[in-house]
Structure 1
Amino acid sequence: MAKEPVKPLLFQPAPRWHLWTALGGAVAIHLTAVALAQRREAPVVEIPPNAPTVVEATLAPPEATPPPEDIPVPEPPPPPEIKPEFVEERTPPPRPPPAAQQKFAPIKAQAMTMSKAKA
């Protein structure tokens, strides 16, 4: 059996009709936009101005404010005595330093001899 040699998978460009279809669509959209832009609208008819109109603004007279009412304000009740749930303890004063501090002499190790040294 004779087999054809295997060809490598290389890039294959899209068919030419894809390119021409896209180009034709772009040209059609462009021409439609140009045709719509050149369409003329009817000129706006201006209405001749009438006699000058004067508008006067008047403010309504302010309403009279009613006299203030004397409403007796009751005295607020005294605040209730609330017992605190947490009572903070007083810290004791610091202790005075002892009068005669004991000083200790540091203990020095004896010098090591070669016979006591281990390998």
Structure 2
Amino acid sequence: MYDICAAETVSLKKGSFCLIDLGISIKMPEGCTCWIVPRSSTYKRYKIIQTNSVGVIDGSYSGNNDIIKFPARADEDTVIHKGDYICQMCVTKRPPRLTFTEVDSLDDVNRGGFGSTGR
């Protein structure tokens, strides 16, 4: 993981949307993908939410004007200053091609459904 900061100062009003420039363009190595995700403190500090949940950057996003941005919606009036760390970049290697098989049921024990971890 790499912490990434804003490349510009942005003022957001409650309910507004902005693409925050991260000042980064990259050429991904063959077979790799980059994910842009919020830092755990981003909402607490700035009251912004990344609107696409996860930004996925593949090898085709590598032109001169393909600058990575953080799509943010503000839940309160806020200011993100140039240099503020607002997200993380994770570079992952794509897994080998997967094959899917349709089945009528699975053999594992049920955990309890959505939201059951840590009960």
Global fold match (TM > 0.5) = no
**TM score, norm. by length of structure 1:** 0.15
Which protein has the larger Cα radius of gyration, Structure 1 or Structure 2? Answer: 1
Where relative contact order (Cα < 8 A, 6+ residues apart) is larger, the structure is: 2
**TM score, norm. by length of structure 2:** 0.15
Bigger share in helix:
1
Bigger share in strand:
2
